[in-house]
Structure 1
Amino acid sequence: MPVKRAPRPIARIATDESLPVANAPVAKAPVAPLPIVDAEAPDAYRRRPRQSRGQARVELLLEAAASVIAEHGLQAATAEAIALRARTAKGSLYQFFPNRDAVLAALALRYADEMRAIHERAFPIDPHGLPLDRLIDRIVKPLAEFHDTHPAFRRVFATVEGPGDDTRSAPTRLRAQLFESFVDRLDVLFAARNPKLATRDRRRIALVAASLGQSLLARRGRAVAAEKKPLLDDLRRILLAYLQPVLEPPVVKTKREPKGEAKPAPKKR
């Protein structure tokens, strides 16, 4: 009888931690961010390294792929180019990866895991004590720094538009999962910041804020050095102007009696 093989492990990203919702009604609290799991993607590796020497070689190949992509674009990252940049034989790449696309999938998984860790550090547990501008900076600045230190990130996760849109590729799915997880985190944060905000409005505002950030950070990644800071400042101003009316509603002041006018004395009976 033929021997049944065990299913290959799926590629996945570690679980997102949920954020507590302070002072928010339980019935209106959004669902905490779920684990990001790429259930459709097979394991990116042909053979996972177990020894430190093999792990170092894989890291070298991934760094080489990132360098080629950052300098010459995604299409230039062939197996030959990656091996050449890593100063190793092409057979060394095939020892761990079945093909060039598997290298890109592994690189995307590593980027996604690093991005998830940034999300966990950026989002405060209790957002009430922070002014809105500082809260925005706490989230936006680490993301901008990540884009600056990982120039291949934007190209690895680039979405192809048109009839040939490859929505089944691992990087495309991971990008969508990361975005949805980020919107979930904003949703939880906004519920804690303003418990009176309607669920549908809160979700829409989180989606718009995340889309603005993603779009401008991607544009900033393509900009020359002189434009990077102004674009980041513009993004912060746009988010502040958009979120301030809903997350910091104006306080209604009670009408006071004008100073200097004495109140009439009560009449004696």
Structure 2
Amino acid sequence: MGDEERPRRRQARGERRMAEILAAAARVFAESGYEAATTNAIAAAAGVSPGSLYQFFGNKEAVARALADRFVSEMRAAHAAAFDELDHAALDLDELIDRMADPIVAFNIANPGFKALFARPDMPPGLAAAARPIQAALLGRVERMLEVRAPDLPSDDRARTARVLIQLFQAMVPLVTSTEGDERAASVREMKKVLRGYLAPIVA
């Protein structure tokens, strides 16, 4: 093995171990709460020793901060994929809903515990607030889509419609993430029916 190959492999192992610790931390925080969670519990859930955890994170807050950063980064990427490269005027409504919903559905399936985690009242305020700018940006993206598809809609109505559309989507996310296989696919279809039923009269 070359001298350059060893550091790359060590780095890859380290990145995998960090990802395992963060995934375990998400489960522990969501189940036990931030205050009750311990680094020992996180290490046990990750299948590593406490000493191995401390190689990557100095304390529980550092773990939570890294988890918040990961959550926000992945959520930002999902929202960008859902909205930023779409020609909202050119797509029919069904395709538009598919293109908007699918990346955010995939994000929620990949990260089922993150939203519940950062909505907990015992999370440090700075961490709990980490996602708020991203959610505000999402609202702006939905409003811009509505401005294209329903240009005659007054601005107050457009803002309200965007909020309702996001709430409808979020209300159905637990139904999707709590199921698997064919039932999950069916739940996603039902979600899209709800979104279409709400949007169709507005953007017709």
SS at match of 1:197: coil
Match of 1:146 in 2: 107
SS at match of 1:128: coil
SS at match of 1:127: coil
Shift of 1:73: 4.3
Match among 66, 79, 94 for residue 133 of structure 1: 94
Match of 1:94 in 2: 54
- Distance in 2 between the 1:175 and 1:223 partners? 25
Contact 1:61 1:86 (C-alpha < 8 Å) held by counterparts: no
Q: How does 1:23-62 map to 2 (within 5 A)?
A: 53=10, 56-57=13-14, 59-62=16-19
Contact 1:136 1:240 (C-alpha < 8 Å) held by counterparts: yes
For the pair 1:245 / 2:189, whether they are aligned, the reply is no
Contact 1:70 1:151 (C-alpha < 8 Å) held by counterparts: no
Q: How does 1:99-178 map to 2 (within 5 A)?
A: 99-123=59-83, 124-157=85-118, 159-160=119-120, 164=121, 166=123, 168-170=125-127, 172-178=128-134
For the pair 1:217 / 2:177, whether they are aligned, the reply is no
- Distance in 2 between the 1:135 and 1:226 partners? 23
For the pair 1:65 / 2:22, whether they are aligned, the reply is yes
Q: Which has the higher helix share?
A: 2
- Distance in 1 between the 2:103 and 2:86 partners? 17
Identity over aligned residues, as a percent?
31
- Distance in 2 between the 1:232 and 1:58 partners? 32
- Distance in 2 between the 1:219 and 1:242 partners? 18
Listed as ranges, the gaps of 5+ residues in structure 1 are 1-50, 249-269
SS at match of 1:129: coil
Contact 2:22 2:63 (C-alpha < 8 Å) held by counterparts: yes
Contact 2:28 2:45 (C-alpha < 8 Å) held by counterparts: no
TM-score by length of structure 2 reads: 0.78
- Distance in 1 between the 2:122 and 2:183 partners? 30
Contact 1:220 1:232 (C-alpha < 8 Å) held by counterparts: yes
Q: 1:167 to 1:206 in 2, by over 3 A?
A: farther
Shift of 1:182: 1.0
| CA RMSD of superposed structures (Å) | 2.9
Whose radius of gyration is greater, 1 or 2? 1
Match of 1:10 in 2: none
Contact 1:104 1:156 (C-alpha < 8 Å) held by counterparts: no
- Distance in 2 between the 1:88 and 1:190 partners? 48
- Distance in 1 between the 2:178 and 2:64 partners? 20
Q: 1:155 to 1:118 in 2, by over 3 A?
A: same
- Distance in 1 between the 2:100 and 2:136 partners? 16
Q: 1:55 to 1:224 in 2, by over 3 A?
A: closer
**1:106-157 Cα shifts (integer Å, max 9, x gaps):** 1221122112112112214421110111101111122222222333334433
**1:44-91 Cα shifts (integer Å, max 9, x gaps):** xxxxxxx86467525523323314644894428631233345454423
Match of 1:75 in 2: 32
- Distance in 1 between the 2:32 and 2:70 partners? 20
Listed as ranges, the gaps of 5+ residues in structure 2 are 1-6
Aligned-partner residue type, residue 41 of structure 2: A
Match among 180, 188, 199 for residue 232 of structure 1: 188
- Distance in 1 between the 2:63 and 2:53 partners? 9
**Residues paired across the two proteins, number:** 193
Could you tell which deviates more after superposition, 147-156 or 51-60? 51-60
